[in-house]
Structure 1
Amino acid sequence: MTARTIGLSEGLSDYVAAVGLREHPAQRALRAETDRLEHGDMRTSPEAAALVAFLIETIGAARVLEVGCFTGHATLAMALALPDGGSVTTLDVNRDWQEIGRRHWRSAGVESRIEFREGPALDSLDALLADGLADGFDLALVDADKKSYPAYLQRCRRLVRPGGLIVLDNTLWRGGVADPSDDSRQARTMRELNRAIHADPDLAVVLLPVGDGLTLLRRRR
């Protein structure tokens, strides 16, 4: 994700975080620790994490899938929003980053709700399907390497139940999707994916300018 909604001033971002959402102390602590890392700007903005948690509560999601964990800031927000017995399965190729988050998951009392699977996300997604978990999740959050987003979406459509939600992050790619001069692979991938989603009648869609762009999808069938 991105640490702050694009186009939002630092002061306004701080105001939103202060009165526009509620953070558990463990979330604030994990956010502060992540910000001290070299790649700390990859973490979820507080408002994006709060929105995904809100969606979990709204649809009564009990089983959540996360593609891309990083330090687990969004993971923690989602785990806190789950009902008793709920679970988050989070995938990442890097175990070291999630170990940072695990201390804060434990502090918040939700470590037992989170299953971390290490390895390339596509391999992990295929393993979930092989394990018979098609239609087994209520919501999926995708925030991993951008070149693989089309493949991630294809698999999440099979793993999330009909009527469930898929949330894609970075779909504005820092504004690059609307900049014809941005010929980066990431911008091209997001442009093509956004067009493909827009043309797909089996997915209800809204792209929100939250974080670096959050696309909310509902699997219609």
Structure 2
Amino acid sequence: MAPRSFLVSDELNDYLLDHTTPADEVQRSLIDATQALGDVSGMQIAVDQGNLLTLLARLVGARRAVEVGTFTGYSALCIARGLADDGHLLCCDVSEEWTAIGREHWDRAGVGDRIELRIGPAGDTLAALPLDPTYDLAFVDADKPGYVGYVDALVPRLRPGGLLLIDNVLWSGNVVDPAMTDDNTEAIRRSNDHVAAHPELESLILTIGDGLTVARKRG
């Protein structure tokens, strides 16, 4: 089973997916390959989230995008499909093993030529990018303690009107449970507060998947 929102019942989730463009053969293959990894497969985004990434990339006319945290490449595939024909997606991850699954499926989907994968700490990769507002879209789905730093690295590199998308911002509801004080939950709370108060961003949180922040850079 592909990942799904924790906020809706199984019955309602089935209804939502029945009224959502279904995953195609390549996407289903990638979902299956990820599920075969076991418990870590829960890091993959939900199908409807992937559809939203594609739609948002198309709506902003994205040509340049950056992803922090690629895992097995489902979100990258979805973003790349939403880019213009001459688009470029920079993916930042630390795992050669997991991203190899993505590379295979990107090529099968015909978007491999749009995706550049850089293996290494994402903070270092982002810091090495020119400090120019040239990116149309950024997606963050990586180590939670790094979220605030990723936001601060990405906002100056987004064009006015560009989108910053952040995954797992509800953390299975733990963000509102005062008993939850683990490092990841606290990091997500800090990031959510940081984005909500950021003077260059207008934002909201969607109750899709594990919670998705959609923020637009002002200007």
Q: TM-score range by the shorter chain?
A: over 0.9
Q: Deviation of residue 102 (structure 1)?
A: 1.2
Question: Which amino acid in the other structure matches residue 88 of structure 1?
Answer: L
Question: Which amino acid in the other structure matches residue 49 of structure 1?
Answer: G
Q: Deviation of residue 8 (structure 1)?
A: 2.5
- Please identify runs of 4+ aligned residues in structure 1 that moved more than 6 A: none
Q: Deviation of residue 41 (structure 1)?
A: 0.9
Q: Deviation of residue 167 (structure 1)?
A: 0.3
1:154 aligns with 2:152: yes
Worse-matched range after superposition: 3-12 or 91-100? 3-12
Please give the alpha-carbon distance, in whole angstroms, between the structure 1 residues aligned to 2:157 and 2:22.
30
Please give the alpha-carbon distance, in whole angstroms, between the structure 2 residues aligned to 1:134 and 1:143.
22
Aligned to 1:82: 83
1:29 aligns with 2:33: no
Aligned residues: 217
Where 1:44 maps in the other structure, the secondary structure is: coil
1:218 aligns with 2:216: yes
Question: Which amino acid in the other structure matches residue 26 of structure 2?
Answer: A
Please give the alpha-carbon distance, in whole angstroms, between the structure 1 residues aligned to 2:83 and 2:199.
29
Aligned to 1:194: 192
Name stretches of at least 5 consecutive residues in structure 1 with no aligned partner: none
Q: Deviations over 1:93-151 (max 9, x none)?
A: 111111011111111111111100000000111111xxx25212100000000001000
Please give the alpha-carbon distance, in whole angstroms, between the structure 1 residues aligned to 2:89 and 2:79.
7
Contact 2:132 2:156 in 1 (8 A): yes
Aligned to 1:183: 181
Closer, same or farther: CA 149–178 of 1 in aligned 2, 3 Å: same
Question: Which amino acid in the other structure matches residue 56 of structure 1?
Answer: A
Q: Deviation of residue 16 (structure 1)?
A: 2.8
Where 2:128 maps in the other structure, the secondary structure is: helix
Please give the alpha-carbon distance, in whole angstroms, between the structure 2 residues aligned to 1:14 and 1:102.
29
1:117 aligns with 2:118: yes
1:53 aligns with 2:43: no
Q: Could you state the TM-score of these two structures normalised by the residue count of structure 1?
A: 0.93
Q: Deviation of residue 163 (structure 1)?
A: 1.3
Contact 2:63 2:88 in 1 (8 A): yes
Aligned to 2:6: 6
RMSD: 1.5
Where 1:201 maps in the other structure, the secondary structure is: coil
Worse-matched range after superposition: 195-204 or 145-154? 195-204
Name stretches of at least 5 consecutive residues in structure 2 with no aligned partner: none
Closer, same or farther: CA 86–43 of 1 in aligned 2, 3 Å: same
Contact 2:53 2:82 in 1 (8 A): no
Please give the alpha-carbon distance, in whole angstroms, between the structure 2 residues aligned to 1:53 and 1:156.
20
Please give the alpha-carbon distance, in whole angstroms, between the structure 1 residues aligned to 2:32 and 2:24.
13
Contact 2:206 2:212 in 1 (8 A): yes
